[in-house]
């Protein structure tokens, strides 16, 4: 590829800003540290809610190399709300089929979305640099609200009672600014986390993986292929995955005792890839890296006025695509709460529910990803014996297939025990959309539920009997849905079950806060108070 | 909660025991380990009940009893 790649161009080059010439530091409502997928998502979410924010990054371009490539349905639904969903869907490679091979045999395959009638597929594959590129462009459309400051590196950070002081280094020297709130999205090696002297504890996996993105015209189908112990990488695992622009992701497990620098050299990498792809395939290396990984998290994601999101708060193994996806869900959870707090419509303690809910999500992700890793890279003789027994049985015995774990792919967390949920009064409505769950998309007859829901508190009224109820409880937007307009019947199936009518209070992040089979303004008001952290007697359940 | 059955439950214990040994006959240690792993997985699936399996795992891991 001769032309300059997108990640080699400065997309938000350094420009001197007004704050640098001020005598006393300027105060901003929100400063976001890190312009990766998580920080940029946060900026857009806040901007759409009318909050000014400054995003600082030590770089000025999108991330180098593909990095995260699998974006899950839930992330795409968040992107839909932020105005980038369809663009990602168009560019991305949609896949549903996963194949698991053991040695040379296909032992199992799975379809990710057996359930139809969702706007977005279970996953798309797209290079992280394209995601960041679209997000940067969206930020630039919202430049009235978002200031993207390239090559502004956090040097120091100090927290006070009512603000945070940040010292930034630029090509023109250093300057200081103040923020009411800071969102730290500065990745696994977070400077902000170091400044706060916070631990990042967990489990280190003693293994190395070669990650290579190659450009090739190959007729391989659009599916995820995962090998255990293939002939081209004996005793280890391998993964092949398609991305847009004829770029393919290849992941090869290398083991622990290797020379990382040596293994990264093209003269070592190319023969490995050729052995995997076959001699007749021509390819070009786009990006090579060797990684080891940890599964760990911070003990708390909220530290006063500093909120950690994405890899700075938690890190998982790549199996299951739970990194970037969970980071986007972090800020999806955080931004509406921050908006309410900034507008003084909710107490600061509402932000503790961010901590509570997203720690639950991080724990889920860490558990899934640790289990996948234990299956993929057995660390003892007996664990390898069991693993191989599962794989051998799975080829002919359906019972063993659920035990095969090549990555349990990212699913959104249901905040079932969240203190800001209102519990059901009865169990008449479908369990798949109980309080705490994310919205389940469905056709509405004239579009999709995920297109209409979210962005503010809403009451979804399914087949409401009384057409006049709109006049009450104006604090929350009412969205009237007629399930008869949906010919698939899924909208009724997913939200009403056997009931004739149903009312769902959903949060701005599309999670369900409460629901009823009867319209009752007093109950709605109470649930709304609770969901915005205004119930005094909230007991934190961990 | 379903309780793990620890009373005699094998119809012909001696037959089962000798059949168990027979599948390991003239096998290497490695082959036997594989057979045992397969057997555990097959039986665990047949039992299915997670509570029962947890009690069995617990009992099996108490190596002193």
Task: Please tell me which residue of chain B has the smallest CA distance to A389.
Answer: B38
CB contact under 8 A, B34 and A385: yes
- The 10s digit of each residue's pLDDT in A231-284 is 999 999 999 999 999 999 999 999 999 999 999 999 999 999 999 999 889 999
Q: Which domain holds residue B28?
A: 13-61
User: Is any Cβ of chain A less than 8 angstroms from the Cβ of B37?
Assistant: yes
CA distance A241 to A285: 15
Q: What is the pLDDT of residue A143?
A: 97
Task: Please tell me which residue of chain B has the smallest CA distance to A385.
Answer: B34
All residues of chain A having their beta carbon less than 8 Å from the beta carbon of residue B33 are 382, 385
Q: Count of domains in chain B?
A: 1
Does any domain span residue B8? no
User: Is any Cβ of chain B less than 8 angstroms from the Cβ of A385?
Assistant: yes
Please enumerate in sequence order all residues whose Cβ is within 8 A of that of A279, keeping only pairs 6 or more positions apart, or say none. Answer: none
Q: Is the ipTM of this complex over 0.90?
A: yes
> Is the confidence at residue A41, as pLDDT, over 60?
yes
CA distance A262 to A292: 15
User: Is any Cβ of chain B less than 8 angstroms from the Cβ of A58?
Assistant: no
User: Is any Cβ of chain A less than 8 angstroms from the Cβ of B34?
Assistant: yes
Architecture of domain A6-95+124-201+298-347: 3-Layer(bba) Sandwich (3.50)
Quote the tokens at residue A214.
Answer: 């190659």
Ordered DSSP codes for A450-470: HHHS-SS-EEEEES-S-GGGG
- The 10s digit of each residue's pLDDT in A133-162 is 999 999 999 999 999 999 999 999 999 999
Q: What is the pLDDT of residue A537?
A: 46
Does any domain span residue B31? yes
Q: Do domains A6-95+124-201+298-347 and A431-531 have the same CATH topology?
A: no
Give the mean model confidence (pLDDT) for residues A499-505: 95
Does any domain span residue B3? no
Q: What is the pLDDT of residue A63?
A: 85
The shortest CB-CB distance from B34 to any of A389, A397, A400 is to A389
User: Is any Cβ of chain B less than 8 angstroms from the Cβ of A400?
Assistant: yes
Record: fold of A431-531: Glutaredoxin (3.40.30)
The domain segmentation of chain A, as residue ranges, is 6-95+124-201+298-347, 431-531
Please check whether residue A429 is in contact with residue A496, taking contact to mean a CB–CB distance below 8 angstroms: yes
Please enumerate in sequence order all residues whose Cβ is within 8 A of that of A523, keeping only pairs 6 or more positions apart, or say none. Answer: A422, A514, A516
Task: Please tell me which residue of chain A has the smallest CA distance to B48.
Answer: A399
Give the mean model confidence (pLDDT) for residues A165-194: 97
User: Is any Cβ of chain A less than 8 angstroms from the Cβ of B50?
Assistant: no
User: Is any Cβ of chain A less than 8 angstroms from the Cβ of B39?
Assistant: no
> Is the confidence at residue A494, as pLDDT, over 50?
yes
CB contact under 8 A, B41 and A392: no
Q: What is the pLDDT of residue A116?
A: 84
CB contact under 8 A, A385 and B37: yes
Does any domain span residue B1? no
Q: What is the pLDDT of residue A474?
A: 57
């Amino acid at each position: 590829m001769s032309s300059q790649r997108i990640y080699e161009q400065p997309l938000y080059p350094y420009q001197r800003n007004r704050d640098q010439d001020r005598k006393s530091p300027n105060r901003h409502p929100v400063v976001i540290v890190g312009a990766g997928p998580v920080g940029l998502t946060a900026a857009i979410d806040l901007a759409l809610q009318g909050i000014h924010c400054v995003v600082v990054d030590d770089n000025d371009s999108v991330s180098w190399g593909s990095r995260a490539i699998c974006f899950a349905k839930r992330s795409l639904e968040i992107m839909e709300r932020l105005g980038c969903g369809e663009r990602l869907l168009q560019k991305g490679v949609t896949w549903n089929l996963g194949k698991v091979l053991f040695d040379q045999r296909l032992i199992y395959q799975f379809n990710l979305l057996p359930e139809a009638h969702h706007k977005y597929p279970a996953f798309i594959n797209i290079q992280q640099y394209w995601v960041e590129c679209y997000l940067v462009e969206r930020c630039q459309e919202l430049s009235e609200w978002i200031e993207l400051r390239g090559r502004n590196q956090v040097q120091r950070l100090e927290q006070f009672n009512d603000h945070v002081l940040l010292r930034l280094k630029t090509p023109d020297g250093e300057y200081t600014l103040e923020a009411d709130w800071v969102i730290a999205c500065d990745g696994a090696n977070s400077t902000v986390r170091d400044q706060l002297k916070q631990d990042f504890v967990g489990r280190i996996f003693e293994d190395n993986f070669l990650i290579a993105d190659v450009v090739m015209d190959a007729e391989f189908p659009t599916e995820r292929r995962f090998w255990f112990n293939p002939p081209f990488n004996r005793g280890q695992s391998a993964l092949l995955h398609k991305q847009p622009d004829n770029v393919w992701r290849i992941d090869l497990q290398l083991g622990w005792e290797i020379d990382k620098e040596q293994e990264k050299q093209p003269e070592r990498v190319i023969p490995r890839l050729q052995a995997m792809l076959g001699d007749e395939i021509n390819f070009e290396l786009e990006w090579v890296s060797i990684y080891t990984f940890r599964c760990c998290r911070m003990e708390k994601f909220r530290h006063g006025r500093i909120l950690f999101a994405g890899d700075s708060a938690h890190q998982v193994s790549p199996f299951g695509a739970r990194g970037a996806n969970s980071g986007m869900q972090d800020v999806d959870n955080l931004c509406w709460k921050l908006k309410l707090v900034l507008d003084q419509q909710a107490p600061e303690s509402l932000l503790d529910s961010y901590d509570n809910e997203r720690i639950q999500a991080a724990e889920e992700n860490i558990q899934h990803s640790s289990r996948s890793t234990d299956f993929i890279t057995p660390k003892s003789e007996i664990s390898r014996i069991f693993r191989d027994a599962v794989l051998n049985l799975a080829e002919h015995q359906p019972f063993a297939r659920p035990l095969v774990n090549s990555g349990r792919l990212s699913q959104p967390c249901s905040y079932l025990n969240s203190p800001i949920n209102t519990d059901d009064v009865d169990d008449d409505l479908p369990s798949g959309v109980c309080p705490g769950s994310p919205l389940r998309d469905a056709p509405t007859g004239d579009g999709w539920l995920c297109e209409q829901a979210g962005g503010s508190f809403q009451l979804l009224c399914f087949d409401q009997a009384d057409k006049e109820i709109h006049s009450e409880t104006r604090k929350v937007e009412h969205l009237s849905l007629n399930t008869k307009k949906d010919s698939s019947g899924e909208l009724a199936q997913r939200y009403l079950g056997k009931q004739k009518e149903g009312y769902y209070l959903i949060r701005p992040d599309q999670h369900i806060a409460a629901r009823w089979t009867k319209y009752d303004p007093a109950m709605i008001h109470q649930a709304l108070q609770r969901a915005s952290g205004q119930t005094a007697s909230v007991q934190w359940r961990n | 909660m379903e309780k793990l059955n620890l009373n005699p439950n094998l119809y012909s214990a001696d037959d089962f025991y000798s059949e168990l040994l027979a599948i390991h006959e003239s096998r290497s240690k490695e082959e036997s380990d594989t057979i045992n792993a397969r057997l555990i997985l097959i039986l665990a699936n047949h039992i299915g009940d997670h509570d029962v399996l947890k009690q069995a795992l617990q009992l099996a891991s108490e190596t002193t009893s």
